């Protein structure tokens, strides 16, 4: 790993971002999911924190008692 890559990675570790949903400022590596494989870019992390993402998935997930049934062919 070259010195330039190490500096970019160190800068990334200290980066914080404000969540788009709750408005709290959180650490980029611990508080956000990675959406792309390139870890050196700040844009490879989502703008919605992990807690808000989990809440969104819980509320929008279909319930087991939904109206959808497997088609009987």
Q: What is the pLDDT of residues 7-63, one digit of tens each?
A: 555 555 568 889 999 999 998 888 988 888 776 677 788 889 999 998 888 888 766
Q: Kindly state the tokens that stand for 32.
A: 């956000």
Instruction: Single out the residue of 30, 28, 20 nearest to residue 45, CA to CA.
Output: 28
What is the rounded CA–CA span in Å between residue 15 and residue 1?
Answer: 20
pLDDT at 52: 92
Question: Is the distance from CB of 33 to CB of 46 less than 8 angstroms?
Answer: yes
* Reported pTM: 0.61
């Amino acid at each position: 790993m070259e010195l330039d890559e190490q500096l970019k990675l160190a800068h990334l570790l200290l980066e914080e971002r404000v969540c788009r949903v709750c408005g709290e400022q959180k650490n980029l590596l611990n508080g956000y999911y990675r959406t792309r494989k390139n870890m050196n870019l700040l844009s490879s992390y989502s703008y919605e924190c992990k807690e808000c993402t989990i809440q969104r998935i819980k509320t929008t997930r279909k319930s087991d008692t939904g109206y959808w049934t497997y088609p009987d062919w």
